[in-house]
Amino acid sequence: MRVSVLGYGTVGVGVCEMLEKAEGLELRKVLVRPGKADKPFKVTSIEEICADPETDAVVEVMGGVEPAFSFVSAALRAGKHAVTSNKALVAAHGPELARLAAEKGVGFLFSAACGGAVPFLHNLALAAESDRIVSVGGILNGTTNFMLDAMQRRGMDYADALKEAQSLGYAEADPTADVSGLDALRKIMLGCAVAYDKLPCEGFSLEGIESVTADDVQHFRAKGLVLRLLVSGGLNERGTLYAFVQPCLLPASSPEASVLKNFNMAKYRGENAGDILFIGQGAGRYPTASAVLRDLSDIAHGRREMMKSSCVRVAADNSAVEKRYYVRLDAALSDCLPFAEKEIDGALARGVTKAIPVTEMHAKAKMLRERGAAVFFAAMEE
């Protein structure tokens, strides 16, 4: 299969290098920015790639929603298969692209958009064909996992841990997407779309790690607990879909606690299979490029679909899931939450709530912050 690559950044360079060595795959053209076409195979117009009869597939590794959406749509319309690593694109326009690919009888796969090298979406799509998927989730952001691990095991503070994650190339261009949980949310949106044929696109509960301090992490460490940013998606008993991202406290013996540095741990629970876990590098040039090549190989073997053309957008419903929450906040406001146990330490209150809906905890934290309070919360994952 002959492949043209849209984008020549960190992942694009990795994909090109791997294509040059891969058996059965051939690099045709690379779309680069105007003024950067310093070799004959580098081009600056998407039309040139769409019109190239010797390009069978495009790989989009530009990032961002536009012009990636226009370019991938144009390639699909021209009858090319498309593979992308771009979670923002698939979260925003996956259903349209899946429908266009199905109409044209070509492939549209996006393994690399969720979990880098971790073969999660690929296996989830296969599992969803033969088992009922009860839930999807795990650790899907390498930057925040790296930071929480560095704060826990190396005693780093938040700002230094973020700087190190950026310098190692794990963070997005704007790391707000990582620390706010948005990057992880986009990935669980894709997981839900693959597992349930439903793309949650509103009603999320989203809490990142921006409120955590070095003191919090050391406090948890002393109690034998480990903090991780976890994503969760699944079907409620009422048939609606839940999808949320929040910090969670786990026993040091849990599988999540053993996921260190920038690693991801994606998991699904099948009604018959039970829990299936995938651990590996969720970011970086070659890990992400390896997932792109796996998708190309899948297409070459006739596998065309990851998100079905029937996939619909839905609102998430997180009111039916209940958790107990560890909360740290100003002591003067601690009566605003239904604590089952709490300690007052000067101006601070710390404690664990009774089981409350995910939506209630997120709404209460928002309300308290609007009143100027500093609040940190994490679900207790016993």
Minimum distance of ligand HSE from residue 170's CB (angstroms): 4
Instruction: Please report, as residue ranges, which positions from 279 to 338 form the binding site for ligand HSE (by CB under 6 A).
Output: 282-283
Minimum distance of ligand HSE from residue 118's CB (angstroms): 10
Q: How many CB atoms lie within 10 A of CB 7?
A: 25
Binding region for ligand HSE (CB under 6 A) out of 20-28, 69-77, 136-144, 203-211: 136-144
Tell me, what amino acid is at 29?
Answer: K
Instruction: Please report, as residue ranges, which positions from 345 to 364 form the binding site for ligand HSE (by CB under 6 A).
Output: none
Minimum distance of ligand HSE from residue 274's CB (angstroms): 26
Burial class (CB in 10 A: 0-12, 13-18, 19+), 219: middle
Strand partners for 227: 249
CA angle 8, 186, 170 (to 5 degrees): 50
Which residue lies nearer to ligand HSE by CB, 95 or 284? 284
Tell me, what amino acid is at 105?
Answer: G
Q: Where are the alpha helices (DSSP H) in the chain?
A: 10-21, 46-50, 68-77, 87-104, 120-130, 142-153, 158-167, 176-179, 182-196, 214-222, 285-300, 358-370
183 contacts ligand HSE (rule: CB under 6 A)? yes
Minimum distance of ligand HSE from residue 174's CB (angstroms): 10
For 105, phi then psi, to 5°, come to 70, 30
84 contacts ligand HSE (rule: CB under 6 A)? no
Which residue lies nearer to ligand HSE by CB, 6 or 361? 6
Q: Pairing state of beta strands 81-84 and 108-109?
A: parallel
For 154, phi then psi, to 5°, come to -115, 5
Residues noted as catalytic: 187
Position among 141, 152, 281, 290 found at the interface with ligand HSE (CB under 6 A): 141
4 contacts ligand HSE (rule: CB under 6 A)? no
Number of DSSP helices (H) and strands (E) in the chain, helices first: 12, 20
Tokens 């839930």 found at: 135
Instruction: Please report, as residue ranges, which positions from 196 to 255 form the binding site for ligand HSE (by CB under 6 A).
Output: none
Which residue lies nearer to ligand HSE by CB, 12 or 116? 116
Minimum distance of ligand HSE from residue 236's CB (angstroms): 27
Kindly state the tokens that stand for 139.
């650790």
Which residue lies nearer to ligand HSE by CB, 72 or 185? 185
Binding region for ligand HSE (CB under 6 A) out of 62-70, 130-138, 139-147, 217-225: 139-147
Minimum distance of ligand HSE from residue 69's CB (angstroms): 18
Per-residue contact flags (x/-) with ligand HSE for residues 142 to 181, judged by CB under 6 A: xx--------------------------xxx-----x---
Rounded distance between C-alpha atoms, residue 153 and residue 174, angstroms: 26
By CB under 6 A, name the binding residues for ligand HSE: 116, 141-143, 170-172, 178, 183, 282-283
